[in-house]
Amino acid sequence: MTERPAAIELHNLTLAHGEHPALHHLSGCFEAGSLTAVVGPNGAGKSSLLAALMGLLMPRTGCVRMPKELKGRVAYLPQQAEIDRAFPLQVLDVVMLGHWRRLGAFGAATGGHVEQALGAIRAVGLTGFEQRAVGELSAGQFQRVLFARLLLQDAPVILLDEPFNGIDQRTTADLLAVLKRWHEEARTVVAVLHDLEQVRAHFPQTLLLARESLAWGPTAEVLQPANLQRAGRMAEAWDDRAAWCERAPSTMGKSG
């Protein structure tokens, strides 16, 4: 990837699952080439936000504005719990799916495509696993496979939902190095995370959610004790049966 991706803007974004509120009136911007962690209590709207960025969850109010050059060029890694590993696929088969946007359903893969897939497998430390069934892999090994597939997608925007949850420290360190490489390549990366020390060490930008934005900006400023305590208090007071708020649309910009 050579071009610098454009920013992704959120304007008064409100999300819901059925009648259950997920996220209220979020406005802000994921800057081009930024590396952002999305943090907050369970049920804060973090995964819902990624779904909205992917176009999988339609807004109740507001919108996501994504430049036309990014449409169809967003890579998304859901939580492992959402992925069925029972289907009889080998590691190389799964990684080759990263070519889907270029090949489509009926395009024929060439030797060059296979070599790129093998290179991605090497890049995540899985050389020798190419013919291994994915159902036989550990959680960490399978996450490496999914990162290899992301490498092949070569997307300017990458969304990750809890990418390091339940995997070993060595795998986490190796995959964090992949994130660092993406950041150096000026890709826009947004990752939902729970480990705040990990966020402090590796993510320059952070968005703190508690069904609304409590702070968004440089990580050291966002992860202040007062902000985290406020998020905890708000989570304790959540009521999914509450009426929808009627707040007026907020002004576009980062909150903090």
What's the CA gap between 221 and 33, in Å, rounded? 20
Using alpha carbons only, what angle is made at residue 254 by residues 192 and 214, rounded to the nearest 5 degrees?
A: 60
Give residue-wise pLDDT tens across range 137-186.
999 999 999 999 999 999 999 999 999 998 999 999 999 999 999 999 99
**Fold topology of 1-73+155-166+196-256:** Rossmann fold (3.40.50)
Compare 93 and 253 and report the one with higher pLDDT: 93
pLDDT at position 249 over 60 = no
Most distant pair of Cα atoms in the chain: their distance: 57
pTM equals 0.88
For residue range 111-151, list pLDDT tens digits in order: 777 899 999 999 999 999 999 999 899 999 999 999 999 99
Question: Which pairing describes strands 157-161 and 35-39: parallel, antiparallel, or unpaired?
Answer: unpaired
Q: Are 11 and 62 in contact (CB under 8 A)?
A: yes
Contact 39, 209 (CB under 8 A): yes
The whole-angstrom distance between residue 124's C-alpha and the CA centroid of its chain comes to 18
Q: How does strand 213-218 pair with strand 157-161?
A: unpaired
Mind giving me the DSSP string for 122-133? HHTT-TT-TTSB
d(CA 206, CA 222): 6
For the chain, helix, strand, coil in percent to 5 are 40, 25, 40
pLDDT at 220 over 90: yes
H or E segment and range at residue 39: strand 35-39
Work out the percent of the chain whose per-residue pLDDT is above 70: 86
Average pLDDT of span 182-211: 96
